[in-house]
Amino acid sequence: MYKWTMFGVFCASCLLGLSILFTTIPDEGEGSHGQAAPIADVPLNVEAAAAVYEQSCLMCHGDQFQGGGGPALVDVGSRLTEQQIARKIQNGGGGMPGFKSELTPEEIGNLSKWLSEKK
């Protein structure tokens, strides 16, 4: 009898732990520091986007978008939407740091629009 009681307590503890774990995981698009900043809808400025890419992205993603330290971005627009690209730039993930404190919402919006055209 004692063995089955302990087994029941163990199972209940596991279920409680799993439910706590899954209710505290942030939703996609939400960074680990609360709500993501809004994405600025700006007209595309290719020169400004290229300058931001050169300053902030080139070291990991390469001068020809070929990747290296980070994934290749050659066809990123065919894999991710403009909004998904912007959220990734803001919040990072998978080894990439977030840039919402280094780049303005306008720079992130322009860069994500530019990268979304890489198909």
- 80-105 confidence digits (pLDDT tens): 999 999 999 999 998 999 999 999 99
**Residue 104 lies in domain:** 40-116
Tell me, yes or no, whether 95 lies in a domain: yes
Q: Is the residue at 100 inside a domain?
A: yes
Q: Would the pLDDT of 29 be above 50?
A: no
CA–CA separation, 34 and 26 (whole Å)? 8
Please tell me whether residue 21 adopts helix, strand or coil conformation.
Answer: helix
Instruction: Give the CATH number for residue 55.
Output: 1.10.760.10
Number of domains in the chain: 1
Nearest CA to 89 out of 50, 37, 45 is that of 37
Per-residue confidence at 5, pLDDT binned at 50, 70, 90?
A: confident
| Any domain includes 33 | no
pLDDT tens per residue, range 43-65: 999 999 999 999 999 999 999 99
pLDDT attached to residue 39: 79
Mean pLDDT of 33-49: 79
Which one has a higher pLDDT value, 53 or 30?
Answer: 53
What pLDDT does residue 8 have?
73
Residue 54: per-residue pLDDT: 97
